[in-house]
Structure 1
């Protein structure tokens, strides 16, 4: 059983990534920040702020966002150090393979596969709902059986399949093209958020900030647990490592930079929302930003929110699909999944086979399955990855102190331990059914690992061959 704990040598990763087919290096720090914002800022900024303020923290939700941002920052700092140290595709999977061993790497990779594919499918389903509503506004009414899967009373969610297919085609076309489209979408999205802030701040009434903390510190911490999930996604930046021009410097900038920008946007939107109207007004309001604008006379607010939501969801589908293809590519390259999924197209230098696999799974899930039931698993998978990555930082500081790190987590092991404790606490807040489903998913992953991955591991084959040669020499 000791062979399941074999560790991928860092030197092997760095050397191999310089040989053979290469992914094109097209990302700089700016593109990475946009990549992070693209996946983190979705419809949540237009929805979760109002609901969390009304039901949990009131105007003190700003403090909730700061606490949640701090929790994510602890994990983000760990990602930044490991990304600068091991600039390879696979993100948490690769980090844990190096620091903790193969079975732990597989565990994290399996969790992230769930996170990215389910998140992509959930985002595509939301995109479908917004597009369907926008089309109905202009007089185009799609048949109900074409906008919902069999479990939701329809036949197939066709718009969701269309956006998944379009993004897959874009990713196959090339990383540079994908980055340009994402940059445009994120600029539009940020522009709409800033426009709301500019419009709303004129109608802020300071009296609405009183009481500032109506639910006390319990409400603030409960609010932090809720809004923590609005930050998820920055780990996707690390998956772009092999397509970054200067990964040692740009990856930490992208991870930390995107987290800072997102935190500022979340806090600004929360302050404006709770200042425009009393926080209790947002109770059971599904679209608080549109509602607030309508209440102060900006009646085209719903259109503003719809455009922001569509651009946000489109960039969300793009980044989650991109990340999942690079993750499958990395796992396959190590032999834990069939190696055909690590093939790179000669023309575009993109992993076409892994993209096709993710496209197929995405179409099946978003087009036909009840996505709402499994969407919460995204949170559990992400938290598990955060915990394992934080532990890896401590482990590699002990085992490989000599490896160059262009970015170093401050106050090790305090910061990584904080990340583990906070993430563990948040995991306990999730529903029991989510925890049970996660355990089942992990069990399925371990079955696949022991029945396929362990036997086909390229590292395992190399170590076995080396052992066999040494045994013959000793005889």
Structure 2
């Protein structure tokens, strides 16, 4: 069952922004300051730009394949099932862990309001919040999205007030007294901060639930990205201007400390509220996006089908949400937060590498039905460079973090070998790329068919009987000029094989029909198309045969560029007329003519016909 499409640009923006703004703004600045010094704000700006290639690549893949699962779906289809299993499990765990940390942050910052809370009480608050957001996500994605809009709106309003009031009170001597951070230390600090922006790429996991993802997903994510960079950079700049070197290095709540210095207890309470909202929105977005990974993997048979169930009543993947929440509750209840925070960050960087690599493979694979509405710029230099940068950041994370992450990756590969390998027979885009580079043919076109189905869904096309005929149509793309007799000979061979009649009979019917009544020729837009048709014996038979020749076919006293041959039994007369009408509507549009003559192969010709604008019955 498909997920319900209910998210608008504003809701995508709110989910993405909520997934980014949390500890990276309210806790991390004091830690980053110790390394970057006066370049604190610059580190946040650089971190955002380090993530930009991953954002571009994810948008390209998500607008080409707007389905639940995001990174997992793209990696599995492009790099293969083994890589997909690893990406799916690590991506799921990374988002779940980040959501768990945000929930603990909720409990921790409640101590601003209730200073005497114990560690156990903090964890109980975090677990209660997890249960609440789980129920909210189960009810509907729209409810969760609308709640996110309200919370993010409140968060940004408080931050905007803090920036505007704080700027007037800044002491610029604090920048002079700050440690001088050299470029190496600033870049190192940016590598630490980059994870704070990581939630934005995870929004791709809910692409299937976005209305018109080609527009709303791109607009929502890009708006969120630039707004978040601006708020991050300005907020830490103001904070650095409000706090002295000693104050900034001695607090783990720098914004609340600066707000208290600015306007007293009211500032502490308001920024404390903003902090809570930040952690709440991160946790809510985390549950929402993480749960779509096991859903998508179950759809592909790589996890038990239980995870792929979608409620007919709420339109949400309840088993996947509940399982994700159980993992998050386990994180909150007792796992080592420090070690797993670094592991989650490593997994995110690992995912960014796979995402950029996927775009490179997809572009070079030459798949006809890969048609993203957004294309990442500066290909492939930006993508290759970002892969190298992300790999360097992973190496800098230390042996223990890499060892823990490596163990989880090995367990993922073990799951692939034991279970998932036998469940999937899809041919990845990587194999298509290899075939293209080596001039070899790949049997089957399951990936092309899936991409075509996604395109039809993206264009809100409900297929009719003519579409079915085109899917099954025989197509030949000729590479030299031809005559009518030559085309009839080719068509006779094809009709004989498809309908199981002698070649001579098929040829005779074509010639006889042409003598009795000249073939219908539609002028189109500057490019005429012939539509010969014959009646065959029997019942329930109808097929379409297509020959394209950009060099021209001499047809009586005209030159045509396509022959749409219709062959059917008498009882399919009604379908014959509907097919004629459909072809007439399709060929008489300028867009069709331009695309038809530029098409690279029969698969692309079929796609053009299926996506053509016409009245469907």
| TM class by smaller structure | 0.7 to 0.9
* 1:147 to partner: Cα distance: 2.4
Partner of 2:417 in structure 1? 450
Structure whose CA Rg is larger = 2
Among 281, 284, 293, the alignment partner of 2:250 is 284
Residue matched to 1:24: 4
Task: Say whether 1:65 aligns with 2:44.
Answer: yes
Give the equivalent residue in structure 2 for 1:424. Answer: 391
Q: Distance in 2 between matches of 1:290 and 1:124?
A: 19
56, 62, 75: which is aligned to 1:77? Answer: 56
The verdict on how the C-alpha distance between 1:401 and 1:280 changes in structure 2, with shifts beyond 3 A counting, is farther
Alpha-carbon displacement from aligned partner over 1:301-341 (angstroms, at most 9, x marks no partner): 32122211111111111111111111110011101000111
CA contact (8 A) 1:335 1:458 kept: no
TM-score, normalised to structure 2, is: 0.66
Establish whether residue 120 from structure 1 lines up as the match of residue 104 from structure 2.
Answer: no
Partner of residue 129, structure 1:
108
Which of 212, 215, 221 matches 1:249? 215
CA contact (8 A) 2:97 2:344 kept: yes
Provide the residue aligned with 2:26 in structure 1. Answer: 46
The answer to whether the aligner puts 1:223 opposite 2:175 as a matched pair is no
The answer to whether the 8 Å contact 2:58/2:355 transfers is yes
- The Cα shift of 1:228 comes to 1.3
CA distance in 2, matches of 1:51, 1:76: 26
Pairs within 5 Å for 1:253-268: 253-268=219-234
Q: Go from structure 1 to structure 2 and tell me whether the alpha carbon gap of 1:425 and 1:209 turns closer, same or farther (over 3 Å shift).
A: same
For residues 51-86 of structure 1, what are the alpha-carbon distances to aligned partners after superposition, in whole Å with 9 as ceiling and x for unaligned? Answer: 322x12223222212211111001111111111111
Structure 1, unaligned runs of 5 or more: 1-20, 149-156, 467-475
Q: Would you say the 8 A contact 1:58–1:279 is kept in 2?
A: no
Q: Is the 8 A contact 1:49 1:269 kept in 2?
A: no
Q: Residue 237 of structure 1 contacts residue 254 of structure 1 at CA under 8 Å; is this kept in 2?
A: no
Q: Kindly tell me: are residues 146 and 277 of structure 1, through their superposed partners in 2, closer, same or farther at Cα, counting changes over 3 Å?
A: closer
Structure-1 separation of matches of 2:181 and 2:415? 47
Aligned to 1:326: 292
The correspondence of residues 265-276 of structure 1 with structure 2, limited to 5 A, is 265-276=231-242
Q: Paired residue for 2:166?
A: 200
Deviation per CA, 1:245-288: give whole Å up to 9, x if none. 11122222222221111100011112212222344531131111
Matched residue of 1:214: which SS?
Answer: coil
Alignment length (residue pairs): 429
Matched, 1:311 2:277: yes
Q: Which residue does 1:87 correspond to in 2?
A: 66
Shift of residue 225, structure 1, vs aligned partner: 1.6
Q: Which residue of 2 aligns with 1:108?
A: 87
The structure where strand makes up a greater share of residues is 2
Secondary structure of the corresponding residue to residue 27 of structure 2: helix
Residue deviations 1:104-133 (CA, integer Å, cap 9, x gap): 111111110110121122211221222355
Which residue is equivalent to 1:147? 121
Q: TM-score, with normalisation over the residues of structure 1?
A: 0.86
Task: Measure how far apart 1:431 and its partner are.
Answer: 2.5
The residue aligned with 2:473 is none
**CA–CA separation in structure 1 for the residues paired with 2:220 and 2:388:** 25
SS in 2 for 1:346: coil
Q: Contact conserved, 1:59 with 1:279, CA < 8 A, in 2?
A: no
Q: Please say if residues 321 and 358 of structure 1, whose CA atoms lie closer than 8 Å, have aligned partners that are also in contact.
A: yes
Distance 1:368 1:219, change over 3 A: closer
Does residue 145 of structure 2 align to residue 166 of structure 1? no
User: Contact between 1:50 and 1:270, CA under 8 Å: does it hold in 2?
Assistant: no
Higher mean alpha-carbon deviation, 216-225 vs 29-38, is at: 216-225
**C-alpha RMSD of the superposition:** 2.1
Larger mean Cα displacement after TM superposition, 202-211 or 311-320:
202-211
Supply the distance in 1 between the matched residues of 2:193 and 2:345 (Cα, whole angstroms).
12
The one of 403, 407, 416 aligned to 1:440:
407
Matched position secondary structure for 1:422:
helix
The answer to whether the 8 A contact 1:59-1:270 is kept is no
- Higher RCO (C-alpha under 8 Å, 6+ residues apart): 1
CA distance in 1, matches of 2:11, 2:119: 39
Give the corresponding residue for 2:507.
none
For 1:159 and 1:296, locate their aligned partners in 2 and report how far apart those are by CA, in whole Å. 30
Decide whether the 8 Å contact of 1:120 with 1:316 is kept in 2.
yes
8 Å CA contact retained: 1:74, 1:418 = no
How many angstroms does 1:298 deviate by? 2.8
> What stretches of structure 2 of length at least 5 have no aligned partner?
428-442, 447-617
1:26–1:243 CA contact under 8 A, matched in 2: yes
Contact 1:294-1:300 at 8 Å conserved across structures: yes
Change (3 A) 1:263 1:399: same
Deviation string 1:398-428 (CA, Å, 9 cap, x unpaired) is 1135322211111100111122112111112
The corresponding residue for 1:10 is: none
**Contact 2:103 2:129 survives alignment (8 Å):** yes
- Looking at secondary structure, tell me which structure has more helix per residue: 1
Shift of 1:369: 3.0
Query: How far apart are residue 224 of structure 1 and its match?
Result: 1.0
Q: For 1:454 and 1:375, locate their aligned partners in 2 and report how far apart those are by CA, in whole Å.
A: 30
Where 1:406 maps in the other structure, the secondary structure is: coil
